[in-house]
């Protein structure tokens, strides 16, 4: 078994020696239930997913589209707590040491828990980083500093509206990889994989030496084949949630296997 390196960037770069493109998947904790989450993660892990984003639900997920919004709400209605999310993450990280787990959530969840307490516990339960879409580097100075101290990767974002200057600035703050948002808008809509995406990714590449993860609207084999060679990791978000909604957890394995085959 490959030991996961403490440093996410190094770990991803090592994996990239053996694979053309890595896969990161996403799920909302407690939706539709933690038991289903478990089955889904097992299928993802067995089929070679590299990273998994575990989203801690928040009542106001402004960067998310209808599917993930609904998942957040239903999970909260069913009574999910931050405490349960930590316990669940600990169990998964221990069970699947080959997968790099990250927390994704909104800043208020971290703020209410206490930045330092949240980050220490995130590290202690075996996660490798955090993705907080509403915490820009300007507001997260302490958060970014403490993450680095704890060897957790604070993930930063590039977007199609970012200037070259802004990309350089943002990338200097982040670690692990840069999450390149493939298009404007919220999660869940299909993204056109075309020439403008190519030139955007070229611009991203010039701004940083960190691996590039591309997400928002990546949902099938073709998308991943198109990204190969241009990005380092493809992020599958809403597509798996939809799949579980429609066909149940058992459908996830074959879906991921197919995507991994394209990669």
The one catalytic residue in 35, 39, 60, 64 is 64
Catalytic (active site) residue 194 = no
Residues 9-28 that bind other proteins (CB under 8 A): none
What's the min distance (Å) between Cβ of 70 and other proteins?
8
Which of residues 19, 39, 107, 173 is near other proteins by CB under 8 A?
A: 107
Q: Is 7 a catalytic residue?
A: no
DSSP 183-246: SSS-TTS----SHHHHHHHHHHHHH-SS-EEEESS--SHHHHHHHBTTBSEEEE-HHHHHHHHH
Q: Which stretch binds other proteins (CB under 8 A): 10-18, 43-51, 63-71, 146-154?
A: 63-71
Q: Which of 233, 199, 234, 232 is nearest to 219 (CA)?
A: 234
Letters for 130-169 (x = contact with other proteins by CB under 8 A, - = none) are ---xxxx-xx----------------xxxxxxxx--x---
Order across the sheet with 178-181: list the strands.
153-154, 129-131, 100-104, 51-55, 22-28, 233-236, 212-215, 178-181, 156-158
Does 184 bind other proteins (CB under 8 A)? Our answer is: yes
Q: What are φ and ψ of residue 158, in 5° steps?
A: -110, 150
Active site residues: 53, 64
User: Which residues make up the interface to other proteins (CB under 8 A)?
Assistant: 58-63, 65-66, 69-70, 73, 76, 81-82, 106-109, 111-113, 133-136, 138-139, 156-163, 166, 170, 181, 184-186
């Amino acid at each position: 078994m490959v030991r996961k390196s403490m440093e996410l960037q190094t770990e991803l770069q090592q994996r990239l020696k053996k694979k053309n493109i890595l896969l990161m998947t996403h799920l909302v904790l407690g939706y539709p239930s933690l038991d289903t989450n478990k089955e889904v993660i097992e299928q993802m892990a067995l089929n070679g997913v590299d990273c998994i984003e575990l989203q801690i639900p928040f009542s106001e997920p402004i960067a998310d589209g209808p599917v993930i919004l609904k998942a957040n709400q239903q999970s909260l209605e069913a009574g999910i707590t931050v405490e349960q999310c930590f316990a669940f993450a600990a169990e998964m990280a221990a069970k699947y040491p080959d997968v790099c787990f990250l927390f994704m959530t909104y800043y208020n969840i971290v703020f209410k828990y206490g930045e330092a307490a949240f980050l220490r516990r995130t590290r202690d339960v075996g996660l490798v980083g955090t993705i907080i879409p509403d915490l820009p580097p300007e507001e997260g100075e302490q958060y970014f500093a403490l993450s680095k101290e704890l060897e957790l990767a604070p993930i930063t974002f590039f977007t199609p509206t970012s200037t070259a200057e802004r990309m350089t600035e943002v990338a200097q703050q982040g670690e692990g990889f840069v999450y390149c948002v493939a298009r404007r808008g919220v999660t869940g809509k299909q993204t056109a994989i075309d020439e403008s995406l190519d030139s955007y990714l070229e611009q991203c590449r010039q701004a940083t030496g960190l691996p590039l993860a591309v997400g928002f609207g990546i949902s099938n084999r073709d998308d991943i084949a198109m990204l190969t060679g241009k990005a380092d990791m493809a992020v599958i978000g809403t597509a798996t949630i939809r799949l579980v909604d429609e066909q149940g957890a058992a459908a996830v394995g074959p879906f991921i296997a197919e995507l991994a085959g394209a990669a």
